[in-house]
Amino acid sequence: MNAPIEYYLLQEKLNKARTKEEKIAIIEEMIKTIPKHKGTQNELIILTKRLAKLKSEKSIVGKAVIGIKKIWPRISIIDENANEIAKNLNLKKLGDLYFGIIEIKGAKAQLVVMKKEEKGIIDQSELVLKQQVDFENILNLLKEKGIVIIKINNKPIFIRLGETLGQIINKEEKNFVAYLYGKNAKFQGKRIGLNYKPMEGDEIKYDNSKRS
């Protein structure tokens, strides 16, 4: 095939490209550069089909990012073995992403697994891992970021240190009373209010039958 030297340089560049965005840009330039005649017709068809496939894959990932509703806290794992991780954890598939809810010591968190970094997901994650680790390590890494587990009415939940009880349970009652148990209580059943800032290991109980 007779083509200018620029075309072959772009071909070499394409072979070294790693991201979809790079490949799309290079192929578009190759299509512009290649001479349009009968001898290049097959090559042009191949390039056009490859470009369409790449753009389709890019679109699917974009829709997947939008389609995964954020649940706090979100943990993202970037691992070449994403398929295997997803299978072991029974995650759902959307585009090139896998997602679902995991429980760590009874507290729920969102897990998103991908083979390659997806910025839209990573930017909204509380914890990003470059490979799979066990849940105990995930718990320790979340703790380093100020995210810990407490129990409210016997239900384990993740909280961010510094939040008040009122912010966590979304209540603003003036005469609200709760009771604190666990290692941080001066005595078991200590009365606390909505301004109390829970700590790791707290067990808090209150009457949830009343409306706020």
Instruction: Give the per-residue pLDDT at 173.
Output: 82
Whether residue 41 sits in one domain with residue 91: no
pLDDT mean by block of 10 residues, the chain; 212 residues: 82 82 89 85 89 70 64 95 93 90 96 90 92 93 97 97 94 90 96 96 87 44
Shared domain for 121 and 54, answered yes or no, is: no
Q: Is residue 211 part of a domain?
A: no
Q: What is the pTM of this model?
A: 0.68
| pLDDT of res. 1 | 65
Q: Are residues 155 and 133 in the same domain?
A: no
Residue 189 lies in a domain: yes
Q: Give which of 199, 203, 169, 210 is closest to 189, Cα–Cα.
A: 203
Q: How far is CA 139 from CA 25, 73, 149, 164, 185, in A?
A: 41, 11, 9, 21, 23
- Given a contact cutoff of 8 angstroms between Cβ atoms, the answer to whether 177 and 193 are in contact is yes
The span from the CA of 99 to the CA of 90, in Å, is 9
User: How far, in Å, CA of 149 to CA of 182, rounded?
Assistant: 12
pLDDT at res. 211: 46
Give the pLDDT confidence score for residue 59 in this predicted structure: 47
Give the pLDDT of residue 210: 56
- Is 181 contained in some domain? yes
Residue 60 lies in domain: 5-66
Predicted local distance difference test score (pLDDT) of residue 166: 94
Are residue 135 and residue 180 in the same domain, yes or no? no
Shared-domain flag, residues 153 and 188: yes
Number of domains in the chain: 3
Give pLDDT, residue 175: 87
Tell whether 113 is covered by a domain: yes
* CATH number for 183: 3.10.20
The verdict on residue 117 lying in a domain is yes
Closest Cα partner for 129 from 186, 81, 162, 171?
Answer: 81
pLDDT at 60: 46
pLDDT given for residue 91 in this prediction:
95
- Position 65 scores a pLDDT of 55
